[in-house]
Amino acid sequence: MKKLKKPIFLTFICGLICFISCASKIVSESSSKLSLGTHFKDLFYLGAAINENTILGLDPKSATIVNSEYNTISPENSLKWMFIQPSPNKFNFKAADKYVEMGLKNNMYIVGHALVWHNQLADFMQNLENSAETRAHVENHINTLVSRYKGKIDAWDVVNEAFEEDGSLRASVFYKNMGKNYIEEVFRKTEKVDPDVDLIYNDYNLYKPKKRAAVLEMVKKFKANGTKINGVGVQAHWDLKSPSIEEIEQIILDVHAAGVYVSFTELDISVLPNPWEMVGAEVTQNFSQFEGDPKMNPYPNGLPDNIQEKLAKRYQEIFNVFVKHSDKINRVTFWGVMDKHSWLNDWPIKGRTNYPLLFDRNYNPKPAYKSVLEVNTDQQN
């Protein structure tokens, strides 16, 4: 599946429509019983972010789920700057190499996350003030990672979370030292090292019009300048109500209209109270005063059936819209494999019990798994 990129695959399908449609229906009906990935295989890649335990073979149950259910992987933390280049030019490739090896072995679409991000950055990068020095480190980082995994990693999240909610550029060390065109500069550097890899800009809260407009303006500028960009990564850290299906649909339509594909890169659905109307993934937001408050952690011993059903219904509605617009979507990736290991147990309040994924704390499929598997894949636009 990996090297059979979607457009070629779709052309192939169209060419053999009469004969193949009957046959492929039979195949997809029987394979839909097998796994999530095969259920959606003609529409988009489906996968999960995996943590270091899974990568290093310390969580075989999680690896079994990934290998049997999904056809794309993202590294939850292992390729981030602070882990892979903790001090200048000292690279630690142990987990990253294993991650790529796992993807290759299972013929998966392998994502690199993330080359340039203000968060989880190595200490030595945090307080740089000199632009030449910053550029040299960025260049070395990109050259080293992108060339090492050239032809193996299929898509890089080149820049992550560069925009503020109002659409202005975040005052990161990269922005301060490299200037307002740093994103484009970094995309160009990445393309130079691996001209064939897909290049993604990744961010959260793209259902908010101002933020989305800023990202899409950037995409259009890249296109006008001949700077390669293949897709926008929509992080999809959502909850049971927000964003609405209409808002999700609008993201897909707008990104597509800007001339690139959409990847839902970090899908999870929080079921816990959110009294501050907090959305997205701004990791500096932490409400430690609520730690241990039972009102903020209402389901410590299990998710009640009615909420479990709401989650299943919400996931089904979301996948219905993904299927409807699957011609515009490259990939859908859950941010984690099972509930116990989700980052949402510790954000924005540490130590809660959240249930955002398709597999429960015992690695068993939840009703949401079934509801996603039951999505009718024939309802494309």
Return the active site residues. 161, 266
Footprint (CB under 6 A) of ligand G3I, residues 184-213: none
The string of DSSP codes covering 311-332 is: HHHHHHHHHHHHHHTGGGEEEE
| Helices 17-32 and 6-15, packing angle to 10 deg | 120
Residue with smaller CB distance to ligand G3I, 69 or 76 = 76
The string of DSSP codes covering 342-374 is: -GGGSSSSTT-----SSB-TTSPBPHHHHHHHT
Residue with smaller CB distance to ligand G3I, 201 or 373 = 201
Strand partners, 232: 201, 262
* Smallest separation, CB 343 to ligand G3I (Å): 4
Confirm or reject binding of residue 119 to ligand G3I (CB under 6 A): yes
Tokens standing for residue 336: 């984690």
Footprint (CB under 6 A) of ligand G3I, residues 249-288: 266, 281, 283
Confirm or reject binding of residue 76 to ligand G3I (CB under 6 A): yes
Distance CA(178)–CA(232), nearest Å, equals 22
The label of the residue with tokens 């299927």 reads: 323
Coil, helix or strand for 14?
Answer: helix
Footprint (CB under 6 A) of ligand G3I, residues 132-161: 160
Residues near ligand G3I (CB under 6 A), total: 10
Residue with smaller CB distance to ligand G3I, 41 or 174 = 174
- Strand 155-160, strand 231-234: pairing: unpaired
* Smallest separation, CB 237 to ligand G3I (Å): 6
| Helices 209-225 and 182-193, packing angle to 10 deg | 50
Confirm or reject binding of residue 235 to ligand G3I (CB under 6 A): yes
Confirm or reject binding of residue 343 to ligand G3I (CB under 6 A): yes
Residue with smaller CB distance to ligand G3I, 111 or 219 = 111
Residue with smaller CB distance to ligand G3I, 66 or 323 = 66
Confirm or reject binding of residue 120 to ligand G3I (CB under 6 A): yes
Interface ranges with ligand G3I (CB under 6 A):
76-77, 119-120, 160, 235, 266, 281, 283, 343
